[in-house]
Amino acid sequence: MDMPLSSLALSSGRSIELSEPRLSSTYGGMLEGYPCKPVNDMKTRSLLRIARALARFPRGEHVREDRCVPSRVESYLAHLDRLSGGVEPRFLPVASTKENLKGVTVIAYQDMPEDLTTALTYGLSLAEHPDWKFGRPELCLSVRSKDDRWAWAVGYLAEDLRGSCPFSYGNTIDFGERVSPESDMTAFVVFAPAVADRTDCRIDVSPPGHEGHDIIHLAGLYPIHGTERQYIDEHGLQPFWELDWDAYDVARRPVV
């Protein structure tokens, strides 16, 4: 029987044993002269934010018991934490209606960037689709609104359509009704997120040693009017995208 290298008895009665030491780079890729106190403080703050986020994440959803290796959602949240600069989000859980798939969680940020509400999903990429050959999507929506219905709508669409809709650029989705009382929009179109650089939209959530095997791509979701959805379906996305319209304004009038 292997003996633990160290053990710790907790007041709860549980015990923690160190059975195998593992080393990883903390400051890999940094310039010469690091580590230093500002970098240490920055990394500590980031880890605390991720820990608080995981504490608020719906229990039993996605978080793995093996603490030696970051879970998929931990890697995803760490990436969002870097993108947001440490802004703490809210978590909106959408229950699963799919057998053998966990629910979808919406990660919602207020005033990021500036006066926008940005909502991202986690859980869409747990599904399979034949079109997803080089990665799987999660949705990202940014609107000039404080109404949580927009964030809930993104989560509902991700959960309801995962496995059937590829969420490819140019796909349109009929929501079937007005998303919010403040807007007449009843549909969405998928394109690249406008609030993130292209390199930031590719998130490697693979376990260590298997880099590149599990990639999440952020796909932007834009609210549109029903007439605009029909125009895109008939003429394609590019002619519509080149029209004069504000992608964040949910109260705007139709452009076609």
Helix runs in 130-178, H state only: 149-161
Evaluate if residue 213 carries a pLDDT over 80: yes
Q: Is residue 252 domain-resident?
A: no
C-alpha to C-alpha distance for 84 and 163, rounded to whole angstroms: 29
Question: Does residue 128 lie in a domain region?
Answer: yes
**Is residue 2 situated within a structural domain?**
no
Give the model confidence (pLDDT) of 126-136 as tens digits: 999 999 999 99
What is 47-77 written as a DSSP string?
A: HHHHHHHHHHSPTTSS--S-TTS--HHHHHH
Q: In whole angstroms, how far apart are CA 2 and each of 5, 17, 19, 20, 182?
A: 9, 11, 8, 10, 64
Residue 120's CB is within 10 A of a number of other CB atoms, namely 27
Query: How does pLDDT run across 62-102, given as a tens digit for each residue?
Result: 554 445 556 888 899 999 988 888 788 899 999 999 999 99
Higher pLDDT, 83 or 164: 164
Instruction: Report if residue 118 sits inside a domain.
Output: yes
User: C-alpha angle 64/51/150, rounded to 5°?
Assistant: 90
- pLDDT given for residue 24 in this prediction: 55
**86 within some domain:** yes
| Both tokens assigned to 24 | 């990883």
Look up the domain containing 73 and give its range.
Answer: 33-241
Per DSSP bridges, beta strands 104-109 and 90-94 are antiparallel
Q: Which residue has the tokens 């310039």?
A: 31
Q: Determine what percent of the chain is predicted with pLDDT higher than 90.
A: 59
Q: Amino acid identity, residue 176?
A: G
Residue 247 lies in a domain: no
Residue 138, φ and ψ in degrees, nearest 5: -130, 150
Count up the domains in the chain and report the number: 1
Does some domain include residue 225? yes
19, part of any domain: no
